[in-house]
Structure 1
Amino acid sequence: MIISVLGCGWLGLPLAERLVSHEHTIKGSTTTGEKLSVLKQSGIDAYLLQLPDSISDETIEDFWDCDILFLNIPPGRRNPNILEEFPANVKKVVDKAKEHKISWIIFASSTSVYPKFGGITGEDEAQPGKAARTSGEAILKAEGILKDSGIDYTILRFAGLYGYDRHPVKYMSGKTDLKEGLRPVNLVHQLDCVNVVTEIISQKKRNEIYNVVSDGHPPRKEFYKCAAKSFGIAPPTFKEDDNSGYRIVSNEKLKKDLYYKFKYPNPMDHTH
């Protein structure tokens, strides 16, 4: 198949490389000119694409000629206009996909569409309620555009991504008096993300929504302490608080539908 990966970043590039190894023809986009050669070296047809400007760029028109589009663009949390701009960008991509008769869009969504608290959530991946953050609201709007598009879709709500060179403790090192030390983490390893998308494609799981989150949900306090030790960096410290609530995102539907077993089931076991 011809698969276009819109956004060959930390997740999109290893996914594109995996799909190349499965004999698919892969077109990949990046927003930086220097990265074009990296994509080409991996056997990916490389395109320079920046939303929303590149939508009307005729020099990259054949990027959109594909069987499947993997749509992997971050909303950008610090963008004050995120609620309007992110869904608008997704709408432009969807319109372009219709124009080119793309039959299936796989969308990299986020568990930030779920409320911050609420016990075990997302068990049936239905409408999630009030998103924890504005970025989650923006992503939820984008999901709605996709669901109403008439194009086959698969929405993958990824938890916090970690693995290899990327780990959330690196952003937390040395911070003090943090809240919610008992709140469970919802994370997923890069390798599991790549595996899941590959399985979605090979099993043709269309018009479904899945939470992509590992089995284990250790408390933040314990998780960061353990990870900091393994990286040899200063751990963050947490206030002694009563922890007013928690959220665990369920992965049961994913495991059942795909017969999927996580390679990294518990973030505590693999802190680097």
Structure 2
Amino acid sequence: MKKITIIGLGWLGLPLAQKLQNEGWQVAGSKRTAGDLPVECYPLDLNHFAITPDIERILATDAMVITLPPSTTSEEGYFSGIQKLASFAMAKGLKHLIFISSTSVLPMSEGNFAEDTEVDPNSLLAKVENWLLSQKLDCDILRLAGLVGKQRHPVFYLAGKSNLKAPNQPVNLVHLEDCVFAISLLLAKPNGQRIFHLCAEQHPTRKAYYGEMAKRFGLADLQFSDENQLLVRVVKADKICRELGFIYRYPNPYDFKLDI
């Protein structure tokens, strides 16, 4: 039985842990404040980073997935914390690491952005990505688009607001279930250093999509500005399909479910 450690047993990490358990992995992980979870879990806070005996034990693992977003701590604390976690695990024999990044590292400008798009090397996530990819182990960087699922959807933050910008900009979103299945696939097929995007294949406009979602959920109407400029910013995320045979379960954002 292979061992895996998930750093960040939250919105994404916990359902991932449960899927991997069902697949036969020996799963343990961490959370800022460990609670009553169906997975072996210990507290770990990058703001007050320390290798406790429990953390030391679970870092002696075959594979590790880091799901912690940068918002969990300061930039310096985040970067150094990821370095310490990875370095300690590698010293203990870590063979495969998956880092959950974000498509926010891509330029905020018009264009179609694939994995070979040049990003700002000075951005925090790019620095973390580059450092991890320079290490001597199988390492996958998985950049996720806007996240939806398990009672999480951007429309809940937009409903009732007025003068919303970029009505004609395409949405770039991905469902939780696709994230979990993609990580499981990467774990089954390690192969050097790789970067993959994950984003639903279809990209309706913000005005059309969020307007429809507000109606479906019985939320207040969204009021967009009369801005006519079309900013076509599309995240291309079919590399994982071509190279690893991944199939999106939710290629159309209109089909996203929130109870998964």
TM class by shorter-chain length?
over 0.9
* Structure 1 residue 155 corresponds to structure 2 residue 141: yes
Displacement after TM superposition at 1:243 (Å): 2.5
- Where does 1:80-229 land on structure 2 (aligned, <5 Å)? 81-82=74-75, 84-122=76-114, 125-130=115-120, 137-229=123-215
CA distance in 2, matches of 1:29, 1:150: 24
* % identical aligned pairs: 33
Structure 1: how far apart are the matches of 2:257 and 2:100? Answer: 24
The equivalent residue for 2:60 is 65
| Counterpart position of 1:7 | 8
Q: Quote the Cα distance in structure 2 between the aligned partners of 1:49 and 1:235.
A: 41
How high is the TM-score relative to the length of structure 1? 0.89
Pair 1:62–1:271, CA change in 2 (3 A): closer
| Displacement of 1:46 | 1.5
Please state if 1:251 is matched with 2:237.
Answer: yes
- How far does residue 148 in structure 1 lie from its aligned partner after superposition? 1.4
SS across alignment from 1:76: helix
| Dislocated runs of 4+, deviation >4 Å | none
- The SS at the match of 2:30 is strand
Q: Report if the CA contact (8 A) 2:120-2:126 is conserved.
A: no
Aligned length: 257
Letter in 1 for 2:25: H
SS in 1 for 2:246: coil
Q: Distance in 2 between matches of 1:179 and 1:271?
A: 25
Q: Secondary structure at the match of 1:166?
A: coil
Consecutive unaligned residues in structure 2, runs of 5 or more: none
Q: Normalising by structure 2, report the TM-score.
A: 0.92
Aligned-partner SS, 2:20? helix
Deviation at 1:205, TM superposition (A): 4.1
Q: How far apart are 1:50 and its partner, in Å?
A: 1.3
| Deviation per residue, 1:45-64 (Å, 9 max, x gap) | 22111115343323431010
**Counterpart in 2 of 1:74?**
69
Task: Read off the aligned partner of 1:72 and give its amino acid letter.
Answer: T
Gaps of 5+ in 1: none
Which of residues 197, 211, 224 is equivalent to 1:238? 224
Contact residue 116 and residue 246 of structure 1 kept, 8 A: no
2: CA distance, partners of 1:142 / 1:221? 34
CA distance in 2, matches of 1:229, 1:266: 17
Amino acid of the structure 2 residue aligned with 1:26: V
Describe the superposition over 1:207-263 as per-residue Cα deviations: whole angstroms up to 9, x where unpaired.
Answer: 111001110111111111011111101132110112352310101211111212111
Q: Distance in 2 between matches of 1:165 and 1:215?
A: 21
Maintained 8 Å contact 2:47/2:77: no
- How many Å apart are 1:101 and its aligned residue? 2.1
Aligned partner of 1:120: which letter?
N
